[in-house]
Homo-oligomer: A and B are copies of this chain.
Amino acid sequence: MTEMHPGVAAQPPEATRGFRFNHSMLRVKDPAVSLAFYTHVLGMRVLRKLDFAEMKFSLYFLARLEREDEAPADAGERMAWTFGREGILELTHNWGTESQPDFKYHDGNAQPQGFGHICFSVPDLAAAVRWFDENKVSFVKRPEQGKMKNVAFIRDPDGYWIEVLQPDLLRGLGQPAA
């Protein structure tokens, strides 16, 4: 199922067989704060941390797993499994930023713009909003605000925007009203 628009290839070339959109990487100021947010508020799991002492940074690879035993226990196998699937979030920590009071990463929505947001889908948007409120999460936009109803935007600890939506409420998006 490919919608045709200017520029679109009719079929994926054979040379791209097996390509997979694996992860998106965001730099974070304080990994303890970001890991608390992504593992508690959004329920992700840390699959692997890598330290690069010479270059003074660490990488954290996170995913939403359906089951505790989904990822291989062996560290090497788990690393290959992590890179072979979709839906991975990589957080990069450049050592020392967490102790600089004025240090702040750029969210991509203020100027200069580029990257916009990541998005989580949830089975029940109203319940998710209550959960975010319980956890004192900062909202860019609540579902009832703005033009796009049924879509919320929250902020992660670095200020990156996270869209939150409930898929079955958005079936009619982009279609003429009945």
Contacts and interface: CB of A to CB of B under 8 A. Distances in A.
Interface of A: 1-9, 12-13, 15-27, 31-36, 39-51, 54-55, 60, 63-65, 68-73, 75-90, 92, 105-108, 112-124, 127-128, 131, 147, 158, 160, 163, 165, 167-168, 170-175
Given A1-B71, A114-B26, A175-B75, A43 B17 contact: yes
Contacts of A173: 50, 79
Contact of A119 (B41, B47, B90, B167): B90
A60 B113 CA distance: 18
Contacts of A122: 18-20
Contacts of A120: 19-22
Contacts of A79: 167, 170-174
Helix, strand, loop or mixed for chain A's interface? mixed
How many copies of the shown chain assemble into the complex? 2
Contact of A112 (B64, B90, B106): B106
Contacts of A70: 1
A2 B108 contact: no
A118 B174 contact: no
A105 B116 contact: no
Given A19-B120, A24-B24, A79-B171, A55 B147 contact: yes
A45 B3 CA distance: 8
B50 A119 contact: no
